[in-house]
Chain A
């Protein structure tokens, strides 16, 4: 069918089942926006207030929908603003399609107004990118982009489209399949290696499963839960693997890492076989991986061969899609018992005892624990970055079907509010709470307008301590408490700010109001904001 490239781009999105896009227009992407207008009944465009947040919103959407999501920006600064979001998606392997406008083909390379080499600039952070110079490539490029973003180890794919190309006429047909000779992600695991894994797990006395974000990428939550239960193998998770196991699962030991819980880290040190599933053993998760590998049998499943052996020596490598590999393992797995080992781990887990906090402040950990008790099982919790992230990760007791979203790899401040907008829109039935600090919130508070404009019912918790708390703690511990550039003086009154956007809000600065605030988060119809006042010296762990 004859049509413009812009129209073809819209048709590509439609063919991929895209019903929501996040973006910010500009001159170089106007032809495409003009066509989006025509398709607005099917494809809802959400105007963010900063391009990075379009990327984060798409990130949240992709993680909840389990499929690639789309963000759009114009050329030059619009595109470069997207880079942090692209890098964030790359570090966490989230499938995001980024469409950017580019200056006219004949102007590329001549430093014209709003020109930036975005494919070049974003190269280190994309799974793949395209500069669409030939209008006849549009269908193939979109088909490939969606396939690449969503398959194998997922990741962001960038499509940069010059303005003149957007206006050209082509003969359009969307391909049903795409074949890329140089890209064939592994599906099932090698049968011989699968046998070896079963043997090692069966012979282990103190086996331990470590679940990473790859389990979510492969949609393998059910399979890993089954395997753990059948073989009675205790489980720890990385930050990206949190919520794959309900907190009350008797086999679950918590999050590992430099900010993880003691019981989980001790489990890693004590186990004789460590079974890593979709976890890349980042430096924040395991501080001395090579030492660990000397004393422990390491089994490593990952769909990305490059992750196997990169950070930790592996005894039994197994490349494949976590879901398919776990299915293979489940076929062969026999019921087992590790009662003594499970008992030993259980003894290490301790109940949190709230700390006495100065008057006018709230214990943030206790707040998170109480919030988790009150929220329905299917809640999305979007943790930002900083102390608030660790308080949330270690204390929110996820139930079956709950979901944590956070930026584990890149640690991008300001992620929570826009990602919550995306997550909520991907599945409006799921209650969605963004938890952030007063530092991170001020990096993306402009997105309150986005949520209001589009009626996105998110709840926002801001833990305020007038500090960049995690850096403050770093300075306290590592730099003789010389607190530098961590003071957030000049911050607005967040309650008044929320009200300026027409958002209901309340402040909690003492124990008495905690229940009231939590009740507001649980029952309030529509977007609301709760400020939780926290002591500036409250520890992260």
Chain B
């Protein structure tokens, strides 16, 4: 089962390597990991999508919490969070196929970022599942390059995940 876990960490160098090292040495499977700054410059936020049963996700949480620089860990309950991922994809598209691709993009809420004589570059920001669907639809046009950010997520409603300051 997939679990989406948000981790607040001290914005120190080396934290990411501690976290990724923990996952590999304890045999936890990461589907994606996204990291970036937050509105508090001392705190970074990592979103991890991991695969495993309940026992595994419990261990992931506990082991993450043992890392000194981890401030807070939260595994989101199913359907209780908002998640997005960004994908940029470069396709080979002959001029006569351009409008077809643009129609698909419009329907699925993707944007055209760049066009050349032989290629088109599209971006889409949506859920993991929606990105996968988009990929499936455009694959026949010939994907020559693709990049995805990994999922970032936030809890629904007014609850927040915050770092307490001393």
Q: Which residues of A contact B (CB under 8 A)?
A: 119-120, 123-124, 127-128, 131, 148, 179-183, 304-306, 309-310
Contact = CB atoms under 8 A, between A and B. Distances in A.
Most buried by B among A120, A182, A305, A310: A182
A306 B68 contact: no
A306 B62 contact: yes
Given A181-B71, A181-B166, A123 B66 contact: no
A279 B66 CA distance: 18
A306 B65 contact: yes
Interface residues of B, number: 23
A123 B21 contact: yes
Given A182-B69, A182-B70, A306-B66, 18 more contacts: A120-B17, A124-B21, A124-B25, A127-B68, A131-B14, A148-B68, A181-B163, A182-B9, A182-B71, A182-B72, A182-B163, A183-B68, A304-B66, A305-B62, A306-B59, A306-B62, A306-B65, A310-B59
B25 to A, nearest CB: 5
B10 interface: yes
Most buried by B among A127, A148, A181: A181
Contacts of A120: 14, 17
A119 B163 CA distance: 26
Contacts of B166: 179, 181
Contacts of A183: 68
Given A128-B68, A182-B10, A309 B55 contact: yes
Contacts of B25: 124
Interface of B: 9-10, 14, 17-18, 21, 25, 55, 58-59, 62-63, 65-66, 68-72, 163-166
Contacts of B10: 182
A128 B14 CA distance: 11
Q: Which 9 A-B pairs have the closest CB atoms?
A: A306-B62, A182-B71, A128-B68, A179-B166, A183-B68, A181-B166, A305-B62, A124-B25, A306-B63
A179 B165 CA distance: 10
B111 to A, nearest CB: 39
A188 B62 CA distance: 19
Nearest to A123: B21
A36 to B, nearest CB: 27
A180 B166 CA distance: 8
Nearest to A304: B66
A148 B67 CA distance: 11
B23 to A, nearest CB: 12
Contacts of B165: 181
A395 B70 CA distance: 44
16 contacts: A119-B14, A120-B17, A123-B17, A127-B68, A148-B68, A181-B164, A182-B9, A182-B10, A182-B70, A182-B71, A183-B68, A305-B62, A305-B65, A306-B59, A306-B63, A309-B55
A128 B66 CA distance: 10
Nearest to A179: B166
A127 B67 CA distance: 8
A27 to B, nearest CB: 25
B43 to A, nearest CB: 10
A148 B163 CA distance: 20
Contacts of B18: 123
Most buried by A among B14, B59, B70: B14
Contacts of B72: 182
B62 A182 contact: no
Nearest to B165: A181
Contacts of A182: 9-10, 68-72, 163
B26 to A, nearest CB: 9
B35 to A, nearest CB: 16
A319 B72 CA distance: 18
Nearest to B64: A306
A119 B69 CA distance: 15
A304 B63 CA distance: 10
B158 to A, nearest CB: 23
A497 to B, nearest CB: 39
A183 B166 CA distance: 11
B7 to A, nearest CB: 11
A309 B58 contact: yes
A82 to B, nearest CB: 18
Nearest to A153: B66
B13 to A, nearest CB: 8
Nearest to A127: B68
B109 to A, nearest CB: 38
A39 B10 CA distance: 35
